[in-house]
Amino acid sequence: DGGITQSPKYLFRKEGQNVTLSCEQNLNHDAMYWYRQDPGQGLRLIYYSQIVNDFQKGDIAEGYSVSREKKESFPLTVTSAQKNPTAFYLCASSIPGRLNTEAFFGQGTRLTVV
């Protein structure tokens, strides 16, 4: 079954800790994205990557970091510099360079600071 797998589904973080959210896809897509979802604010772009070993900041990149060492994987690290990390995080992928293609989403990770 092709798709995007995010893990874990729920994650709890203590203040001052870094945590890493996993995103793996087997759709053979070059482009991958991370979005943050807060109630009433829709989805905001954190980082995106059009190809392996390359990524760009989105609208709210401060306090986050990513890597793209493999085509299939695009992990997101929420650092202690992110002041309000409690949110629902969504990973997506698509075929780059084709504007008419939709993005496919994982099931999300809900991060809570305790």
Partner 1 sequence: AQSVAQPEDQVNVAEGNPLTVKCTYSVSGNPYLFWYVQYPNRGLQFLLKYITGDNLVKGSYGFEAEFNKSQTSFHLKKPSALVSDSALYFCAVRDEAGRRALTFGSGTRLQVQP
99 vs 114, beta carbon nearer partner 1: 99
Q: Which amino acid is at 53?
A: N
Contact between 2 and partner 1 per CB under 8 A: no
| Shorter beta-carbon distance to partner 1: residue 32 or 113 | 32
Q: Does 5 bind partner 1 (CB under 8 A)?
A: no
Nearer to partner 1, 38 or 62 (CB): 38
Q: Looking at residues 47 to 66 of the shown chain, list those that interact with partner 1 (rule: CB under 8 A).
A: 48, 50, 58
Q: How many residues does the chain have?
A: 114
Task: Tell which residue, 112, 105, 87, 110, has the closest CA to residue 36.
Answer: 87
Q: What are the distances in angstroms from CA 28 to CA 3, 45, 51, 62? A: 10, 21, 11, 29
> Contact between 107 and partner 1 (CB under 8 A)?
yes
- Burial of 36 by CB count in 10 Å (0-12 exposed, 13-18 middle, 19+ buried)? buried
User: In this structure, how many other beta carbons lie within 10 angstroms of the beta carbon of residue 30?
Assistant: 17
Residue 75 binds partner 1, judged by CB under 8 A: no
Binding to partner 1, residues 15-44 (CB under 8 A): 31, 33, 35, 40-44
Backbone angles phi, psi at 39, to 5 degrees: -55, 130
Q: Does 84 bind partner 1 (CB under 8 A)?
A: no
Kindly tell me which residue out of 15, 83, 99, 114 binds partner 1, with binding defined by CB under 8 A: 99
